[in-house]
Structure 1
Amino acid sequence: MKFIKKSYYYFFYKIYRSIEYTSELSGGKFLTFYKAGLVMLALEAWIFFSLLAYYKIYTKISIQLLISMPIVYIPAIIIYVFNYFTLDYKDNWRQFNAEFANYSKRKNRIGGWIVFGIILLIVSNLIFSFYLMSQIDWSQYR
């Protein structure tokens, strides 16, 4: 469990550092923590959307999703609360960021490639799930 927690914070750290770096290049780093948090929320939401798309493909049930439906707002609330308690509450991320900043350059470079690979996997998985949904003729299913 500790490994998963530390991995999550490292994932956030690499996103935070990359946003901090690109913000410096483009004229100023402000609200970096919130930008990184937004990226984390987006990636988690994309994972949820992928799972939902695969569910629709597997069951062949065509459903319209609205924000007022429990299948949408309950996971959204869970994701938001999870991020709040892991990142915002008591600023736990700061101590982990300080720890990860002390890692060797080689270790951080390898970790950066792993994080980039995971992000690429999440995005490509979402695109692939939407592609598979587009291949189904939904007119014959309810």
Structure 2
Amino acid sequence: MYKFLFYKIYCIFKAINEEGWEHIKALIAINALGIMICIDFMIWWIIITKNDINLVFSDVNISITAFTVVIINYRFFLHDQKWKNIVKEFEDNPNYNNKKGNLLAALFVIGIIVSMVLSFYCFSQVEWALYDS
């Protein structure tokens, strides 16, 4: 699914503008989604456990999370031009260009965004004054 999502984002950027940087743009979009997922988990963790916000959302934690997501995605997609094999794999197989796969990828991205918005909303509804130590 992760490779397919990369491929779909790659195709979107390729359809918009064929300037040759589609793989970099797709990687940036995948990184943004990965970081959003991590921040989403952090917010839900704070809401569920009522932990101190400063411990979870410190600059170090956010930086380490973002750096880790970027490094993992770089190794998975760009290192040794792996993105070319991924694109070739999906372009050679017409079964991957179906509406069900496109819908699944779109729902995955929409789900991440909705979950992030919902987590911020729930985060704002907690009365944190009750949990001060």
Say whether 1:133 aligns with 2:123: yes
Q: Paired residue for 2:99?
A: 109
| TM-score normalised over the length of structure 1 | 0.82
Q: Paired residue for 2:72?
A: 82
In the alignment, residue 114 of structure 1 is paired with which amino acid? Answer: L
Aligned to 1:50, the other structure's residue is in SS state: helix
Q: Paired residue for 2:4?
A: 10
Measure the CA separation in 2 of the matches of 1:79 and 1:121. Answer: 19
1:106-129 Cα shifts (integer Å, max 9, x gaps): 743321111001001111010111
What RMSD, in angstroms, separates the aligned Cα atoms of the two structures?
Answer: 1.8
Relative to total residues, which structure has the larger helix share, 1 or 2?
2
Q: 2:38 aligns with which of 48, 53, 62?
A: 48
Residue 31 of structure 1: how far off its partner (Å):
2.0
Alignment of 1:84-99 (within 5 A): 84-99=74-89
Measure the CA separation in 2 of the matches of 1:106 and 1:46. Answer: 26
- Identify unmatched segments of 5+ residues in structure 2: none
| TM-score normalised over the length of structure 2 | 0.87
Residue 54 of structure 1: how far off its partner (Å):
0.5
Residue 59 of structure 1: how far off its partner (Å):
1.3
Identity of aligned residues (%): 25
In the alignment, residue 21 of structure 1 is paired with which amino acid? Answer: A
Measure the CA separation in 2 of the matches of 1:78 and 1:105. Answer: 32
Moved runs in structure 1, 4+ residues, more than 3 A? 105-108
Residue 105 of structure 1: how far off its partner (Å):
6.5
Distance change in 2, residues 1:22/1:90 (3 Å): same
